[in-house]
Amino acid sequence: MRVVRVEGFEDWRREARALLAAEVRPEQVSFQPSEASQDSLFEEDGPSAAMGETQTARITVPRGFLDLAETVALHREERRWDLLYRVLWRVNHSERHLLAVDVDEDVRELLLMEKAVRRDIHKMHAFVRFRKVADEEGERYVAWHRPDHRIVFAVGPWFARRFGAMRWSILTPDGSVHWDTRELTHGPPVTQSEAPQGDDMEELWRSYYASIFNPARVKVKAMKAEMPVRHWATLPEADIIPQLLQQASQREVQMRETQKTSAAPFVPGDHRLEVLAPAVQRCQGCELYQFATQAVFGEGARQALVMFVGEQPGDVEDVKGRPFVGPAGKVLDEALAEAGIDRREVYVTNAVKHFKFEERGKRRIHKTPRGVEVAACKPWLEAEMDAVQPKLIVALGATAAVSLMGRDFRITRDRGVFFPHPRAEALLATVHPSYLLRLPDPQQKAEEYVKFVEDLRLVAERVRELGVAR
Ligand code: URA
Ligand code: SF4
């Protein structure tokens, strides 16, 4: 049996490629954590050796496998590496479509691991609580967290986007991440196994801070086995957690029973906006919650006459947590002003509350939500319409129009006309402001913009009539 030491995903990937090329069967190899890994987990340098790069063997890596593997790599179970290698081996030895066979034991286990890691990431997003401490450089927000899996470095960029303007540190038993408003850095783990209480955080930070600068820093202990304490048991909200947990498991059962992708189990019965808005952050009605920074709920006048419905938050909205505050929002604002509509008097929301995107390098490219996602998110939109009770609804673009009017609706054919709608006196659809932004030809862009404003003028007129009739 060959023992291969790996520290992280890149390591595994490189080794796996070399082993595959050398036709080493999964039974002949055992991946184990490198001796150093307990300690060097937090070091920033990746492994440097380039073995395997020179191999020319053809290796099949199915679509989606690398993403899956990268996520599974964060799982705490050591056997994940062997499992990943076994699956990669099988795919390359006459089981090309193995990943689609979800009754296969190996595939099933991989998918379960992936799910566990994604859950843990979501939990970390939702439950990390920062406490303000003073340090040499000023204010810093420090949090202690005990993730179930080795996700601490993977979540760093998410927190950097979400809390970009403040200096913060998240300390965990696996390592720490720090943000200085510009750069993410990794640091050593915090060995204490209990969450600090209240002012202890200040204390913890001070000793941690001191330790970073102590060259004779003690060897970090092995962290493996000790995960008995649920990490959030000590949060200020601890009181409500059993309840949340119970609700969550009920929801799961409910979701599994109906086998449906839907926000419905997450939407509170109380449809007041101040109840809905915080609740949407816990929605797991479709897959999209896993990747976005946060849900973006609607906002605006609580009893608005008009509700505007876009598609989904964009990159800027995802970070700021507010609808239509990026480039498309700017176009919308201008057009509204031109049409004589005050944005502060309307309510603005989206058909889908989580940003769907594809990562290209550092950029996140908008991806149109699928029908199932739009349908899954509809209960939030219904609840918002219930809360605001608008007289007019304006659908911006096809996604919103289809969500509100059904699949036969065509913007090109049906725009600029008032239709009856069960939730309002009328609904009008028009193009999405992003569509205008995407038009390459300036002439056409200008013409389309004028048409867009014309549609909005129809809305403004109708609002005036309604206002008078009120
Ligand atoms: N596009 C949308 O549809 N909604 C937003 O909030 C931003 C861009
Ligand atoms: Fe829930 Fe909608 Fe987000 Fe899907 S997109 S998780 S349904 S809020």
Q: Which of 45, 102, 118, 53 has its CA nearest to residue 290? A: 118
CB distance 311 to ligand 1 below 6 Å: yes
Question: According to the model, what pLDDT value does residue 428 have?
Answer: 97
Between 194 and 188, name the one with better pLDDT.
188
List, in order, residues 6 or more apart from 364 with CB less than 8 Å away. 315, 318, 355, 357, 358
Among 288, 297, 316, 324, the mutation site with the greatest number of ligand 1 atoms within 8 A of its Cβ is 324
User: Quick one: CA torsion of 193, 284, 302, 366, rounded to 10 degrees?
Assistant: 100
Q: Write out the residue limits of the CATH 3.40.470.10 domain(s) in the chain.
A: 264-465
Between 241 and 71, name the one with better pLDDT.
71
Give the Cα separation of 32 and 7 in Å (integer): 8
pLDDT band at 249 (very low <50, low <70, confident <90, very high): low
Between 125 and 353, name the one with better pLDDT.
353
Question: According to the model, what pLDDT value does residue 202 have?
Answer: 81
Beta strands 138-144 and 131-135 are antiparallel
Query: Which of these ranges, 19-23, 294-298, 338-342, 464-468, has the smallest mean pLDDT?
Result: 464-468
The conformational region for residue 259 under phi > 0 = left, psi -120 to 50 = alpha, else beta, is: left
Q: Is the pLDDT of residue 437 over 60?
A: yes
Cα–Cα distance list, 80 to 74, 77, 109, 202 (Å): 9, 6, 9, 37
Atom of ligand 1 lying closest to residue 326 CA? 7
What CATH topology corresponds to 264-465? Uracil-DNA Glycosylase, subunit E (3.40.470)
Residue-wise pLDDT for 382-416, tens only, equals: 999 999 999 999 999 999 999 999 888 999 999 99
Cα–Cα distance list, 111 to 73, 106, 154, 240, 287 (Å): 12, 9, 18, 30, 14
CB distance 147 to ligand 1 below 6 Å: no
Q: Is the pLDDT of residue 223 over 70?
A: no
Cα–Cα distance list, 327 to 160, 330, 333 (Å): 21, 5, 10
CB distance 283 to ligand 2 below 6 Å: yes
Residue-wise pLDDT for 47-66, tens only, equals: 333 334 444 567 778 778 99
Give the Cα separation of 176 and 211 in Å (integer): 13
The mean pLDDT of 151-168, rounded to a whole number, is 90
Question: According to the model, what pLDDT value does residue 33 have?
Answer: 86
Atom of ligand 2 lying closest to residue 376 CA? 7
Among 377, 378, 382, 403, the mutation site with the greatest number of ligand 2 atoms within 8 A of its Cβ is 377
